[in-house]
A = this chain, B = another copy of it.
Amino acid sequence: MEKIKPRTLSGFMELLPQDQMKFRGMTQALRRTFSLYGFSPIDTPLIEESSILLAKGGGDTEKQIYRFTKGDSDLALRFDLTVPLARYVAQHYAELTFPFRRYQIGKVYRGERAQRGRFREFYQADIDIIGDGKLDIINEAEIPSIIYRAFTEMGLTRFLIRINNRKILTGFYAMLGLADKAGDIMRTVDKLEKIGPDKVRAILTDDFAVAPAAADEILRFIAVKGSNRDILDALAAYRGRNETFDRGLEELAAVTRYLAEFGVPEDHFAVDLTIARGLDYYTGTVYETAMLDHPEVGSICSGGRYDNLAEYYTDRPLPGVGISIGLTRLFFVLGDCGLLSPDYPSAPADALIIPMTDDLAPAVSLATALRADGVRAQLYREDKKFKQKMAYADKLGIPFVILLGEDEIAAGKAALKNMLTGEQVLLPPEAVAGRIRAVTAAADSGKVIRED
The minimal Cβ–Cβ distance linking A187 to chain B, given in whole angstroms, is 23
The yes or no answer to A68 lying at the interface (CB within 8 A) is yes
CB distance B75 to A9 under 8 Å?
A: yes
CB distance B95 to A9 under 8 Å?
A: no
CB distance A47 to B14 under 8 Å?
A: no
Residue tally, chain A, CB below 8 Å to B: 97
A15-B37 CB under 8 A given contacts A4-B52, A101-B348, A383-B136? no
The yes or no answer to A292 lying at the interface (CB within 8 A) is no
Complexed CA–CA distance, A7 and B135 (Å): 25
Complexed CA–CA distance, A152 and B269 (Å): 47
Known pairs A14-B43, A38-B352; list 4 more (Cβ under 8 Å).
A20-B42, A131-B382, A136-B383, A261-B360
Nearest 5 pairs of A and B residues by beta carbon: A38-B378, A68-B68, A38-B349, A6-B91, A17-B40
CB distance A4 to B313 under 8 Å?
A: yes
CB distance A45 to B9 under 8 Å?
A: yes
The yes or no answer to A92 lying at the interface (CB within 8 A) is yes
The yes or no answer to A265 lying at the interface (CB within 8 A) is no
Complexed CA–CA distance, A347 and B258 (Å): 26
Question: Considering only CB atoms, which chain B residue lies closest to A352 in the complex?
Answer: B38
CB distance A43 to B55 under 8 Å?
A: no
In the complex, chain A residues 366-421 whose Cβ is within 8 Å of any chain B Cβ: 368, 371, 374-379, 381-383, 392, 395-396
Question: Considering only CB atoms, which chain B residue lies closest to A111 in the complex?
Answer: B70
The yes or no answer to A41 lying at the interface (CB within 8 A) is yes
CB distance A348 to B40 under 8 Å?
A: yes
Question: Considering only CB atoms, which chain B residue lies closest to A103 in the complex?
Answer: B348
Number of copies: 2
Please encode chain A, from 410 to 441, with 1 for each CB lying within 8 Å of some chain B CB and 0 for all others.
00000000000000000000000000000000
The minimal Cβ–Cβ distance linking A315 to chain B, given in whole angstroms, is 7
> Which residues of chain B have C-beta atoms less than 8 A from A263's C-beta?
364, 368
The yes or no answer to A179 lying at the interface (CB within 8 A) is no
The yes or no answer to A281 lying at the interface (CB within 8 A) is no
Please encode chain A, from 23 to 43, with 1 for each CB lying within 8 Å of some chain B CB and 0 for all others.
110000000000111111111
> Which residues of chain B have C-beta atoms less than 8 A from A101's C-beta?
348, 378
A382-B135 CB under 8 A given contacts A3-B314, A37-B371, A46-B107? yes
> Which residues of chain B have C-beta atoms less than 8 A from A250's C-beta?
none
Question: Considering only CB atoms, which chain B residue lies closest to A393 in the complex?
Answer: B97
The yes or no answer to A71 lying at the interface (CB within 8 A) is yes
Question: Considering only CB atoms, which chain B residue lies closest to A262 in the complex?
Answer: B364
Which residues of A are in contact with B by a Cβ distance under 8 Å? 1, 3-9, 12-17, 20-21, 23-24, 35-49, 51-52, 55, 66, 68-71, 73, 75, 86-88, 90-92, 95-97, 99, 101-102, 107, 109, 111, 121, 131, 134-136, 138, 142, 149, 258, 261-263, 310-315, 348-349, 352, 360-361, 364-365, 368, 371, 374-379, 381-383, 392, 395-396
The minimal Cβ–Cβ distance linking A206 to chain B, given in whole angstroms, is 34
CB distance A262 to B6 under 8 Å?
A: no
> Which residues of chain B have C-beta atoms less than 8 A from A4's C-beta?
51-52, 55, 312-313
CB distance A262 to B42 under 8 Å?
A: no
In the complex, which of the residues A39, A47, A75, A96 has the most CB atoms of chain B within 10 Å of its own CB atom? A47
Complexed CA–CA distance, A360 and B30 (Å): 25
A42-B15 CB under 8 A given contacts A97-B392, A376-B35, A382-B131? yes
Complexed CA–CA distance, A1 and B86 (Å): 16
CB distance A111 to B8 under 8 Å?
A: no
The minimal Cβ–Cβ distance linking A445 to chain B, given in whole angstroms, is 14
